[in-house]
Structure 1
Amino acid sequence: MEHLPDPKAPGAEPGVWWPPSALTPEWIREHRPDVLHVHFGFEHFTPAQLQAAMDAADDVGTAVLVTVHDLENPHLPEAEQPAHRVRLAVLLAAADEVVTLSTGAAEAVRKDYGREAIVIPHPHVLPLDREDEDAAGEGPGPGEELLVLVHAKDLRASVDPEPLLPAVAEGVRRLRAQGRPAQAVLEMQETTQDPVRADRLRASAEELGIRVWEHPRLDDASLHALLRRAAVSVLPYVRGTHSGWVEMCRDLGTPVVVTDVGAIASQVADTPLPGEQASEAGRPGEGVAVVGMQDPAAAAEAIRRMALSPRKPAPPLWRRTQRAQVAAAHAAACARAVRTARRQHAERVAVLVITGDRDTHLARVLQALERQTRRPDEVVVVFMGQPDGQVPETDLPVTVGHVAADGHLPLAAARNRAAVLASAEILVFLDVDCLPADGTVEQLAAEVADHPHAMVMGTPRYLLPDWRERTGLAEAVLPEDAALRAASVPHGARAHLPAGGSEQWHMVWTLVLAMRRSLLQAIGGLDEGYVGYGAEDTDLAFRARDAGMGLRFHPAEVFHQHHGVHRPPLNHLEDILVNARRFRAVHGLWPMEGWLREFAAAGLVDWDEDGGRLELRRRPTEQELAAAKVADAAY
């Protein structure tokens, strides 16, 4: 197997590979490698750009192997993690083979992205040709001062030493109480990514008697020498998944105390050193202690214990054997990826229907799904506030769920529950009012397969009040699409929307919406803080947009079964106010502005359109509710 070198990034210095040219469609189409192995470094790209690269790989027959090193990107702040998860979801959706570094991460990949990942452990960090004594070093002698080394490094987003400093100080106090000289040192680079946080750290460390050592960026030799001198290396991570630093310390024999983030505990426990036994299932053994950031007493005791523990470097011969096994496992993964890329297989599709006391509508929806040109692999029906809800007889595979209703329609909770119950990767949300045209499921699923980074909305048409008479509806026979089309009208607000990619995120409605399950999970599903009716769809769309997803509209039709409406929706007034305030707080602008203006004009609400005030002045009267109801409106 030949490994191609990382291509030089345009305009970059020699040896600089980022942003990686190998993740561009142009490079892939020109070089046509058998396997494209994506490990990390893809935060420089949008989901659409990554999808273009994956499409190029598919076009030229390049297999895609994805190693999930980071379920959370340690270089990015918390606010940017949803975008990282969307990017990862795009890659995993396209991957022909998935690898990760620990059993814990493999379980997360299975749960969050629906992909099975093989585990290939993190290999050595120090060179394999080192001498044993160089790896072990001397370490502190019996009477020497024990160096408790806390690593702030350049204060990247993944590190926050401040909450752990009291535990460090207490650990040193306990060592001294045992008669062991000890000193805590917070090492920090002279130039950090967060000078304000650096100032705060200096003050906290000084108050606790912890020495701060600021230094230029250390080269490898200097770093290794420092860690050989340390009695314990304390890693105050707040996010991340795996740690090369931990493996470096294992190579050196330096004991480690690391905060319990990601799958680091699993990473170490999966590969105990020769003669080392994991203390319990899924927990690391002798050389690494994993502690909770919120448990200072346990952290202090771990620091005391690990500072006194013997140094046990990973034997180079063992690392050499492991390296050969890792290389063989990667070669096998590449071979499987190539075989998989050559097999064509359709992805499974689930249709998700939420309903509440609309049994007749539900029966018609199931009839429409039974006659699809591409029948769904599963249908999930979630009843809202209808504990005795029953699914009509059908030959479709149906999963049933329930959510309680406390006077408000739990729309977001019901859709989330349906997504959890589904096992397919492609999800099609479908309102119980909507009858899909015969080809709708097939068309939406194909569009999602072609554009995995996007949410895809179909086209609703609204059946007229007399549609039953127009179509000659019989109880057990659903009219053909042509008859339904003739008895329906398009929504006036959507007439301007062309098919294809769009930025009209405010026009996203979940009554017919398709997307990948992994993308929905990446952005956290629908926000269940929205109660009842209004804005939960737009909030989902805006969060998808902010995470870098794409939006597409598609002519695949659904026919909305008629029911009367209120203009404006006075029957949902209080829900709309609650949801509008929540949306404003999250996104900085008002949703449903047309309705809010009508409510304000009627004296029902006090609304500052340019500010943050929206208050209920009074509830609508029975006369106002009756006047607002339009029984014969199509929508």
Structure 2
Amino acid sequence: MADIKKTNDLISVIVTTYNRPDALQLVLDGCFAQTDRNFEIVIADDGSGMSTRELIERIAQRAAVPVTHVWQPDEGFRAAASRNKGIARARGKYLIFLDGDCVPQRDFIARHRALAAPRTVVTGSRVLLGQKLTKAALARRLPIFELSTWFWLRQRATGQINKVLPLLTRLPDISRRRVNGFVWRGIKTCNLAAWRSDIEAINGFDETFTGWGHEDADLVVRLHNSGVARKNGFCATEVLHLWHAHEARDREKQNQERVIARLARGTTRAERGLHEPEHAVEENQHADVIDTPSLLEQ
């Protein structure tokens, strides 16, 4: 496995989205402002309407990095299937998962590249934005990924963010980042990075997890069971999570119980995952896939 820090290989950023084009706009703005430009964006769309498609087509035409849009029909919350479609279309050996309401800071990809290590998954964290700040950011298309220290200190003082230290501090790849054993806390696929080969080996996300909850923990459990180590990306890879109302969580307990059982059994492979026939990439793509070359390729 090549050292991505030394080779500067392409990274694939897989962004999940569903019917929130204003938030996706801010996320893409943050992606396009990255200091590390050797990446592509794959937008994994869980059934959004035409407004999202039109936004992506419009933005991608002038994007400085390649943008791909993969879409699946809206049949309820199916994040696992959507992410698998994104993985199937990604070209990078290293994958970063980002949600369409989590705005990356300008060094987000550079920091993930610096933390990458063989057979290791990196679980990042997030700064939660309040409803008032989120509304203002969306209405004014604020470049929140590059605002000043004083701005964030004011937002913390008024309760519009839940923490400020990660926005002011960058810690190197210290030994304390290593997570020993399986720890549930901090697993969020709104900010997670792993090697494609490690994800392929466990058959990707398990698409039998439907409804909100714990398909991300299931992925990390199965990576853990297969011998993949884990690092914590605190004070390095934080994203700015825009406020939103909670999804329905009627399947959360059931999904959590499945993950706990898999940890105990040592399960590694998804029941229905990345290696299903529908994820096979053919030379001629389906009508629900939009490839937009970057300006660098034109």
Partner AA of 2:127 in structure 1: R
1:475 aligns with 2:140: yes
1:347 aligns with 2:9: yes
Is this contact kept in 2: 1:351–1:376, CA < 8 A?
no
1:460 aligns with 2:132: no
Is this contact kept in 2: 1:372–1:441, CA < 8 A?
yes
Q: Show CA shifts across 1:87-133 (max 9, x none).
A: xxxxx4469xxxxxxxxxxxxxxxxxxxxxxxxxxxxxxxxxxxxxx
Is this contact kept in 1: 2:221–2:259, CA < 8 A?
no
Once the two structures are TM-superposed, the CA of residue 564 in structure 1 deviates from its matched residue by 2.7
Structure 2: any 5+ residue segments left out of the alignment? 156-160, 165-174, 266-298
Once the two structures are TM-superposed, the CA of residue 519 in structure 1 deviates from its matched residue by 1.1
Aligned to 1:370: 32
Q: Show CA shifts across 1:462-514 (max 9, x none).
A: 01222157x777634413243674432249xxxxxx95111353121111001
Aligned to 1:489: 162
Partner AA of 2:71 in structure 1: H
Figure out how many residues of one structure are paired with residues of the other and give that number.
235
Give the alignment of 1:90-101 within 5 angstroms. 92-93=1-2
CA RMSD across the alignment: 2.6
Give the alignment of 1:35-74 within 5 angstroms. none
Q: Show CA shifts across 1:255-306 (max 9, x none).
A: xxxxxxxxxxxxxxxxxxxxxxxxxxxxxxxxxxxxxxxxxxxxxxxxxxxx
1:502 aligns with 2:179: yes
What CA distance in whole angstroms lies between the structure 2 residues aligned with 1:550 and 1:526? Answer: 18
Aligned to 2:72: 403
Is this contact kept in 1: 2:23–2:138, CA < 8 A?
no
Whose radius of gyration is greater, 1 or 2? 1
Q: Show CA shifts across 1:405-429 (max 9, x none).
A: 32x3101111111111100111110
Is this contact kept in 2: 1:384–1:403, CA < 8 A?
yes
Aligned to 1:257: none
What CA distance in whole angstroms lies between the structure 1 residues aligned with 2:100 and 2:131? Answer: 17
Is this contact kept in 1: 2:126–2:239, CA < 8 A?
yes
Aligned to 1:413: 81
Partner AA of 1:582 in structure 2: R
Once the two structures are TM-superposed, the CA of residue 433 in structure 1 deviates from its matched residue by 1.1
Give the alignment of 1:518-537 within 5 angstroms. 518-537=197-216
Aligned to 2:226: 547
Residues 501, 404 of structure 1: CA spacing in aligned structure 2 closer, same or farther, 3 A cutoff?
same
Residues 584, 405 of structure 1: CA spacing in aligned structure 2 closer, same or farther, 3 A cutoff?
farther
Aligned to 1:572: 249
What CA distance in whole angstroms lies between the structure 1 residues aligned with 2:33 and 2:139? Answer: 16
Structure 1: any 5+ residue segments left out of the alignment? 1-91, 96-343, 492-497, 590-635
Partner AA of 1:505 in structure 2: V
Aligned to 2:22: 360
Q: Show CA shifts across 1:406-458 (max 9, x none).
A: 2x31011111111111001111100111001111111002211xx12110122
Partner AA of 1:489 in structure 2: N
Residues 544, 473 of structure 1: CA spacing in aligned structure 2 closer, same or farther, 3 A cutoff?
closer
Corresponding residue SS for 2:9: coil
Corresponding residue SS for 1:350: strand
Higher relative contact order (CA 8 A, sep 6+): 2
Residues 526, 427 of structure 1: CA spacing in aligned structure 2 closer, same or farther, 3 A cutoff?
same
Is this contact kept in 2: 1:384–1:405, CA < 8 A?
yes
Corresponding residue SS for 1:572: coil
Partner AA of 1:368 in structure 2: G
Corresponding residue SS for 1:399: strand
Residues 558, 499 of structure 1: CA spacing in aligned structure 2 closer, same or farther, 3 A cutoff?
farther
Is this contact kept in 2: 1:535–1:579, CA < 8 A?
yes
When normalised by structure 1's length, the TM-score is 0.35
Is this contact kept in 2: 1:457–1:512, CA < 8 A?
yes
Corresponding residue SS for 2:184: helix
Aligned to 1:563: 244
Corresponding residue SS for 1:505: coil
Is this contact kept in 2: 1:350–1:376, CA < 8 A?
no
Partner AA of 1:560 in structure 2: H
Residues 423, 533 of structure 1: CA spacing in aligned structure 2 closer, same or farther, 3 A cutoff?
same
Partner AA of 2:45 in structure 1: F
Aligned to 1:142: none
Once the two structures are TM-superposed, the CA of residue 581 in structure 1 deviates from its matched residue by 4.4
Structure 2 residue corresponding to 1:435, chosen from 103, 119, 132: 103
Residues 521, 559 of structure 1: CA spacing in aligned structure 2 closer, same or farther, 3 A cutoff?
same
Once the two structures are TM-superposed, the CA of residue 527 in structure 1 deviates from its matched residue by 1.0
What CA distance in whole angstroms lies between the structure 2 residues aligned with 1:465 and 1:386? Answer: 23
Residues 499, 464 of structure 1: CA spacing in aligned structure 2 closer, same or farther, 3 A cutoff?
farther
What CA distance in whole angstroms lies between the structure 2 residues aligned with 1:347 and 1:505? Answer: 30
